[in-house]
Structure 1
Amino acid sequence: MKKLILTTILTIIFMAQFPLLSNAQLEETYEAHGGLNTFKEFNVVEYDMKDLPFSPVGILNDHQLIDLNSRRILITSDTYKIGFDGSEAWITPNMEALGIPPRFYSSTPFYFFGLPFLF
């Protein structure tokens, strides 16, 4: 219980150090990246991830395809294939091919670069 209280207090102190974005700042962020309406017009986004040191099995290199409307994801590489249907993730041939949970890996990179547009 003491750890929970201490963690809560430290989190509050940490978060108080950073001001929240105003609506104007958020709009500026959207416009700097082409605008929210432009983003919403895209159906899919795809990109190649190169040299990611996320996995205990080694450096990851793969191709990621994300449906922006359904958030379905397909990730392919030479050694694994990951899918996410919006609620469940799967991987072939097996978990050892990636070394980390497929649900975590399937969504994390997209959220890092797509964050301003996700809410």
Structure 2
Amino acid sequence: MKLFLPILSVIVLSIISCSSPTPQTETTTAQVDSLASIPDSWIDERVAEAEQRLNASEAGALVWQAIEAHGGLDTWFSNGPLAFQFNYQPLDGSTPRNTYEVADYWSARTRHERIDTLGEYGWTGKQAWVRPADANVPYNTRFWSLTPYYFVGIPFVLADDGTNFELLGEQTHRDRPYDAVKITFGENIGDAPDDYYVVYIDQETKQVDVTRYIVSYPGYFPDGGHLPEKFMDWTDHQTIHGITLAQGFDTYWWKDEQPAEHITAIEVSRVEFMPDITDAYFEAPENAKVVTEM
């Protein structure tokens, strides 16, 4: 998974109980200017730039068509930050990860509530943090802060600046024809610029049904390299406030140009937009530990 911090966004509360997972925010007149949501004029400018940039190539135009088919980039940003539960269950006995996340896709900021135990972690747009400071989190929180964010945000995150597109031709999945587009990233874009993705765009619906990808995160591969490619099959779609996202993913190793061993089951649930979340919500809270290691 790529920790991608959009260039257009500077490259970029207390612990919430499991029984009451929705972030509690009270918006007063004094707080209006600090909402994480952004002005329509900013959205218009960013959408216009992305539309022009993506439509400059055949491959990029296909990605733009997918974004439109999933609800449109203007609606995506206008809805405000997105909240969802991301239940990641490995099938090989390794560590599961199950969090309720609020993600600000405009500025690449996240905050996670752990479902398995009390605790939180997140990404402020500049640094990762975890709370309580002595929490034993058995996986890399800096990496994982933006991992669900990126997968759930496809195809919208593919419009971020710094992305390159390559048309790979036609692929068949479940007896349906797809256009396969490979996405790579410019030098020094995000924490893992060597990552790549391949999305399968249905030739009829223009929606994405498959994501292939590699993980080259330097925290896992300090000397270079990456995991073998994975094949992430979207289990279904769900539409919330005009935006269509994946309902879940079944992930397989990609071998000999086809999916092989089933390695992960992921459910995406409790999805809703949070337009009243404030900027302060994404800052590291008191008594949190800043995560400095990759």
TM-score using structure 2 length = 0.30
User: Higher helix fraction: Structure 1 or Structure 2?
Assistant: 1
Structure 2: tracts of 5 or more residues without a match? 1-56, 161-294
Tell me what 2:96 maps to. Answer: 59
Tell whether 2:127 aligns with 1:88. yes
1:1-119 correspondence runs (5 A)? 22-53=59-90, 58-77=95-114, 78-94=117-133, 97-118=136-157, 119=160
Secondary structure at the residue paired with 2:77? helix
**Corresponding position of 1:11:** none
Check the 8 A contact 1:57/1:99 in 2, yes or no.
no
Q: In structure 2, what residue type is equivalent to 1:44?
A: P
Secondary structure of 1:58's counterpart equals coil
Residues 42, 68 of structure 1: 8 Å contact kept: no
Counterpart-to-counterpart distance in 2, 1:95 and 1:59: 20
Greater strand fraction, Structure 1 or Structure 2: 2
Q: Percent identity at matched positions?
A: 29
Shift of 1:94: 5.0
Question: How far is the alpha carbon of 1:46 from its aligned partner?
Answer: 0.6
**Are the aligned partners of 1:45 and 1:65 in contact in 2 as well (CA < 8 Å)?**
yes
Q: Alpha-carbon deviations, 1:54-78, whole Å to 9, x = none?
A: xx87322210001222222110022
Q: Could you tell me which runs of 5 or more consecutive residues in structure 1 were left unpaired when the two chains were aligned.
A: 1-19
Q: Distance in 1 between matches of 2:67 and 2:147?
A: 20
Count of residues paired in the alignment: 99
Question: Structure 1's 97 and 37: CA in aligned 2 closer, same or farther, altered over 3 A?
Answer: same
CA RMSD, Structure 1 to Structure 2 (Å)? 2.6
Give the Å deviation of 1:51. Answer: 3.9
Secondary structure at the counterpart of residue 38 of structure 1: helix
Shift of 1:95: 7.2
The one-letter amino acid of 1:97's match is N
CA distance in 2 between counterparts of 1:96 and 1:40 reads 33
Q: How far apart in 2 are the matches of 1:89 and 1:61?
A: 18
Mapped contact 1:45–1:67 kept (Cα < 8 A): yes
